Structure 1
């Protein structure tokens, strides 16, 4: 059984997709970009500011479904420039200080709204 998750605390989808879908004990969170859900605008600043906003958006979707960042098992990270990898990791590590999830990080030719980063996650509960 599939359950759609939606929260006003994260950006509204900009296409025909859900913020997250819960299937059994797993939660699939759609790719989040650094959009401030209050303004609908991309946050100002560089990769650190954008990474922080993306992770706050993910955190909001997780919480709306009753999950936490500690439940994240897999992260899919898309960077517009792998030269930002070290700075991205500095912020990312603050959100996953213990038992970080498995992760894929790739450089994407272009991301929605020309942002620097997009992250999707898969969370699981026991």
Structure 2
């Protein structure tokens, strides 16, 4: 099965040795996104702003792959503080269509560039 590298200028360029996403068949694997503005490459300020920017970045990558946020079947969320879990849920309710995809959320010691949240996604395209 062939692999297709997904890239859009509407999401931050990779800050390491990875692609924004890789499409294999009808499945798209979106690399972990942090709350970087794709134009300035600066982190948004605070948890809620970063989480919303992360979802905007993921949405841009979804569109570049031929899908949208409703195509996501699984999110993996890394938080530097699980005290932000309820705020994360509120943002997901506001931004994501139902039925909600599967999700994991874990607390980690640190994230790249001092981010407080990182989210990766898996899409299933029709």
TM-score by length of 1: 0.96
Q: Measure the CA separation in 1 of the matches of 2:98 and 2:88.
A: 17
- Residue in 2 aligned with 1:92? 92
Question: 5+ unaligned residues in a row in structure 2: which ranges?
Answer: none
Question: Unaligned stretches of 5+ in structure 1?
Answer: none
Q: Distance in 2 between matches of 1:103 and 1:27?
A: 16
- Alignment coverage as a number of residue pairs: 125
Instruction: Please name the residue that 2:11 is paired with.
Output: 10
Deviation at 1:93, TM superposition (A): 1.4
CA distance in 2: counterparts of 1:102 and 1:111, whole angstroms: 22
Instruction: State how far apart, in whole Å, the 2-side matches of 1:76 and 1:85 are.
Output: 13
Q: After TM superposition, list the pairs within 5 Å mapping 1:48-63 onto structure 2.
A: 48-63=48-63
1:54-93 equivalences in 2 (<5 Å): 54-93=54-93
Cα pair 1:51 1:92 within 8 Å, conserved:
no
Aligned equivalents of 2:52 and 2:109: distance in 1? 21
Distance (Å, rounded) in 1 between the aligned partners of 2:96 and 2:10 = 20
RMSD over aligned CA atoms reads 0.8
Counterpart-to-counterpart distance in 1, 2:124 and 2:97: 18
Runs (4+) off by over 3 Å: none
> Tell me, what secondary structure is at the counterpart of 2:91?
helix
